[in-house]
């Protein structure tokens, strides 16, 4: 799990356990000891879910913002270097700990950048506590059960729901280099040639942490799925969405239907061609450019209002 130069590891304790996060700690960025550091606006990056996900997912993107923002990138509970409580994870576990994490690390309303299922959780968190959020920039936000098309009814989700077999499938099919690469090729990337060894190694390091299977299996079983269309109309926080054209399970058509349910909050929707679920890993330079574009757009829209 790569820690980019100039970033350091810190942690906070939530109601479900300790969450590790990465933030600027010194050269070539401003140090927390500098007076100007605390005047920087916050920019929080939340990773999605998969076989070995962690804050590494955004590590090719968030250093680009470290000169102008107080960048914060956590490992969510059950992933990366954060604690891995052995529990049956539910949607509210992540909605609540996202809010708790932001309350402990940010003293004002914060712009949050989030990916895939976590982006859908973040929408629910912003509905529950809108004062905590300033803007949202989301890549492929979906609860994987939109418009009565639930992933949890798929054959693989049902298979992983079988006790004992689920642990075997995790160790044999996920928590090894071949399993990680197969997952990335089949689920997250449009072009397998963009997957290099460092990515596989970072995902494997997360997937092989003690008790890592609990959160991963909750995701793969579909325990964390929900229909975002039932909630998105309640969103008030200004939002921009990036959607990979070749996202597995969640097509841009689903994204447009979701965005059209709430045009007041969702100010921009951009389809990124030849990209899968994680443009931040597949095309980080393009993703950085789009985030900069949307940060300006959302700030301008907020000023107009």
pLDDT (tens digit, 0 to 9) for every residue of the chain, 305 residues total? 678 999 999 999 999 999 999 999 888 998 878 888 888 999 999 999 988 999 999 999 999 999 999 999 999 999 999 999 999 999 999 999 999 999 999 999 999 999 999 999 999 999 999 999 999 999 999 998 898 666 555 544 554 555 545 666 677 667 789 889 988 998 899 999 999 999 999 999 999 999 999 999 898 888 999 999 999 999 999 999 999 999 977 899 999 999 999 999 999 999 999 999 999 999 999 999 999 999 999 988 666 65
Q: Are strands 42-46 and 17-24 parallel, antiparallel or unpaired?
A: unpaired
Alpha carbons 141 and 121: distance in angstroms, whole number: 8
Per-residue tokens: 95: 């909605």
pLDDT tens readout for residues 278-305? 999 999 999 999 999 999 999 886 666 5
| pTM, entire model | 0.94
- Coil, strand or helix: which one is 243? strand
Contact status, residue 221 vs residue 161, Cβ threshold 8 Å: yes
pLDDT in tens, 127-171: 999 999 999 999 999 998 898 666 555 544 554 555 545 666 677
- CA nearest neighbour of 277 among 117, 84, 44: 117
Smallest Cα–Cα separation from 229: which of 289, 107, 143? 143
Sheet holding 133-139, edge to edge: 7-14, 17-24, 70-74, 42-46, 110-115, 133-139, 239-244, 266-272
Contacts of 138 (CB under 8 A, 6+ apart): 113, 114, 115, 119, 122, 123, 239, 240, 241, 242
Q: Domains, the chain, ranges and CATH?
A: 7-304 (3.40.50.1820)
Cis status of the peptide bond prior to 28, with omega within 30 of 0:
yes
Spatial contact of 90 and 224, defined as CB atoms under 8 Å apart = yes
């Amino acid at each position: 799990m790569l820690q980019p130069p100039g970033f350091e590891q810190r942690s906070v304790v939530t109601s479900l356990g300790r969450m590790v996060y990465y933030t600027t700690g010194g050269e070539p960025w401003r140090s927390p000891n500098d007076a100007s550091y605390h005047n920087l606006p916050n920019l929080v990056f939340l990773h999605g879910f998969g076989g070995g996900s962690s804050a590494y997912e955004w590590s090719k993107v968030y250093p680009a913002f470290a000169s102008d923002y107080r960048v914060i990138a956590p490992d969510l509970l059950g992933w990366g270097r954060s604690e891995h409580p052995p529990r049956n994870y539910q949607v509210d576990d992540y909605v609540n700990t996202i809010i708790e994490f932001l309350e402990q690390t940010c003293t004002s309303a914060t712009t949050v950048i989030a990916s895939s299922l976590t982006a859908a959780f973040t929408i629910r968190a912003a509905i529950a506590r809108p004062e905590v959020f300033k803007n949202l920039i989301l890549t492929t936000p979906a609860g994987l059960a939109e418009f009565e098309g639930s992933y949890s009814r798929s054959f693989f989700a049902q298979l992983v729901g079988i006790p004992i077999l689920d642990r075997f499938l995790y160790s044999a099919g996920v928590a090894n280099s071949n399993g990680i690469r197969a997952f990335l090729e089949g689920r997250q990337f449009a072009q397998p040639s963009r997957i290099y060894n460092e990515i596989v190694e970072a995902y494997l390091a997360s997937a092989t942490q003690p008790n890592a299977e609990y959160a991963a299996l909750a995701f793969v079983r579909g325990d964390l799925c929900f229909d975002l269309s039932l909630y998105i109309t309640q969103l008030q926080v200004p939002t921009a969405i990036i959607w990979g054209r070749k996202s597995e399970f969640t097509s841009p058509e689903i994204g447009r239907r979701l965005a059209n349910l709430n045009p007041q909050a969702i100010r921009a929707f951009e389809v990124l061609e030849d990209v899968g679920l994680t443009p931040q890993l597949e095309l980080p330079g393009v993703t950085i450019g789009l985030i900069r574009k949307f940060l300006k757009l959302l700030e301008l829209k907020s000023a107009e209002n």
